[in-house]
Structure 1
């Protein structure tokens, strides 16, 4: 009876797949992306969210989001908190702009609402057509460099310099040695395309760190340790704050978040629906990502996005939403392994951030460097995101520069009105911030 309902609900016969194949594909997707629980909670912890609460929030958001997209759009797209957006949450919104993590969660909630407004209206087409491709690609590249820098810093490979901004870490530092060894293992597994390579590297990296005495075993495996996270999560769930909603900084942060969500998901959802030859599923899949991003602010996490790792499930035969639902249920099961996830050290997480950053740099090949009015604004975004330690400011530099150079060189037709308005808002924020 259940199997018949599943076949009917997910149209398995029409999609030429089976329950077994879909569940297997969901498991493959899960083990490919499960590293996000440790990585995301680690980054959220630097914003002040308790590590255990971050683990629970990440797992729950991933569970709900995957089930949502699976049931609504019937696609094998996997939604989890996005890399880059979590960095923006912690290092830009909280550490750089001075928001509390509660206020940052308010930004996530509002940006999710803005994203939903775009997704459920013709605005998605207007915005997508008005923003130059070079700027969209530059945001991804800039985020990649930012993640790489965070990974290098988390692993001790770079540190604040005595006579320079940055300097290389000390190689007699156990954290640095553990990071280098783990990085070698992680890159090797990735190049060999070993299934679940990031998960395996986390386990091996934790073992290497343990040999250097870097793993904190206190309370590991005890009942109190396993339940402590749920108590912390009670303080994070629905803890978002809108106390500064009338400030310019709040709306700049919300707008920047929403813009990244809109354009990153357009590319990812379009790519995944194309892989399963179901382009008509784009709208429902895209709208699912918008609603899930709102939930993230409520549950205490940075925004979720459609993941690149969804391709692993599709490659394993996933064709319907049953793949995504299976992945979501496995995220729910992962809550029983909080004590294990918690002990994973920074030296095991850093190599994954570095590799993801390297992968995001590939988008630079889509930028037209033969036209410097396209290339230079894109270049500003790429370098200013990591150098200012602010994703919002980095985006602003490029979006302001683009219409200025186009207009000065008589290329008015290449600048859309929405882009001019966006650039004006970014410029106004800089002016107001300077005189505040």
Structure 2
């Protein structure tokens, strides 16, 4: 969906030029608010995960918010990009359950690993390696990444809606459609679809508001109500600048750093390329993401990545950095109004995530279905991202499989040196992840 007002495209506008077009600015603000609500759950979920690593949840809430604010401001003012940066789901699980719980390292060491990974990430983002890696990714895999992330979002949305749940005899079964939350989500999905198909401006945001109002009327709220006391901000310094680099030359530190770097670099690259409507903004967006990843290690949280839920704002018309800046403002306001977020149930957010994921899956059309050497690696990415609940795992299998099938199919000339290198690196990542 291209954001245009009176024949003017927001894609080609600078950050300041948007101020001259009130309609476009309004669209960007609505997109930013929509994207924020879609990812707002991270404010509570990320601290709950990091709590298992030993970081106090009531303090890491602030780290989650501050890192998101900084990331979104960098996206807005530096990259002019409609991408929201927050501590990433998946990488926070790697941080907590692989590095700390399984490897037995302290959260302070995990923070140090994040910092070193961030330095390597920046070294790639601000050098020619950025262009080499981004240009070497085959188009079929790029489309597969976008579609895979889309299917991942659909899965997340259906889970939030309670329409699918983990089964006893199968991975997924239909949820209980008699539950109020599931019925509310179905109502929200119907309303959001109607508004979207009618091309109502701000359709996703309006859908969230209307569904929330119905939820309030029928007393449908999520069980986990945020409990953040702003006065605890005075204790926030207890988790900042706490990286422990004393084990930097140890084997566990090096292996964990390699795996985290692979996750950050290629998950971010895949996400950014899959999300951006205007690929000319890729370089600065990727660079901004690397800087925020590095800074997050000093703020007391797991690394930040581009939020897949940014797609909700982009589908609402977000095309410039104003969407990201608006999200930054919303994160800032959440410090004061976090209790109000409890009134926005997951069932109200889920429909937007489901529709957004479905729209991203349209990228399947760009894959050469008739060429099995192109289709199958992309297919692995598409299905393994949601099935393994890991974007990096899906990428790894796709990138390892691609050169193997090309060689087996006698299409060696279509392979470049970077594709071979990426295949080997992702294979090593899979091996190290298994060992960790």
TM-score if structure 2 supplies the norm length?
0.76
* 2:164 counterpart (147, 153, 158): 158
Q: Does 1:248 align with 2:250?
A: no
Instruction: State the secondary structure of the residue aligned to 1:159.
Output: strand
Task: After TM superposition, give the deviation of residue 176 of structure 1 in Å.
Answer: 1.8
Q: Does 1:186 align with 2:204?
A: no
Task: After TM superposition, give the deviation of residue 210 of structure 1 in Å.
Answer: 3.5
CA contact 2:38–2:349 (8 Å) conserved in 1: no
Q: Which runs of 5+ in 2 are unaligned?
A: 1-13
Distance 1:205 1:241 in 2: 46
Task: After TM superposition, give the deviation of residue 380 of structure 1 in Å.
Answer: 1.0
Q: Cα deviation per residue 1:301-321 (whole Å; 9 max; x = unaligned)?
A: 652439553686777xx7xx7
Question: Cα gap change, 1:381/1:361 in structure 2, threshold over 3 Å: closer, same or farther?
Answer: same
Distance 2:156 2:243 in 1: 25
Distance 1:125 1:248 in 2: 26
Task: After TM superposition, give the deviation of residue 285 of structure 1 in Å.
Answer: 5.2
Aligned to 1:144: 150
Give the paired residue count.
Answer: 407
Aligned to 2:264: 257
Further displaced range: 294-303 or 384-393: 294-303
Aligned to 1:6: none
Q: Cα deviation per residue 1:330-360 (whole Å; 9 max; x = unaligned)?
A: 6534533222124433222322332232122
CA contact 1:120–1:287 (8 Å) conserved in 2: yes
Distance 2:435 2:285 in 1: 43
Cα RMSD over matched residues?
4.0
Distance 1:53 1:157 in 2: 33
Distance 1:419 1:387 in 2: 25
Task: After TM superposition, give the deviation of residue 156 of structure 1 in Å.
Answer: 1.7
Task: After TM superposition, give the deviation of residue 376 of structure 1 in Å.
Answer: 0.5
Distance 1:125 1:362 in 2: 26
Q: Does 1:419 align with 2:423?
A: no
Question: Cα gap change, 1:415/1:262 in structure 2, threshold over 3 Å: closer, same or farther?
Answer: same
Question: Cα gap change, 1:187/1:22 in structure 2, threshold over 3 Å: closer, same or farther?
Answer: closer
Distance 1:16 1:383 in 2: 38
Aligned to 1:80: 84
Aligned to 2:306: 305
Q: Does 1:203 align with 2:209?
A: yes
Counterpart mapping for 1:199-238 below 5 A: 199-215=205-221, 226-227=229-230, 230=233, 237-238=240-241
Aligned to 1:4: none
CA contact 2:136–2:416 (8 Å) conserved in 1: yes
Question: Cα gap change, 1:248/1:117 in structure 2, threshold over 3 Å: closer, same or farther?
Answer: same
Task: After TM superposition, give the deviation of residue 379 of structure 1 in Å.
Answer: 0.6
Distance 2:368 2:159 in 1: 31
Question: Cα gap change, 1:422/1:333 in structure 2, threshold over 3 Å: closer, same or farther?
Answer: same
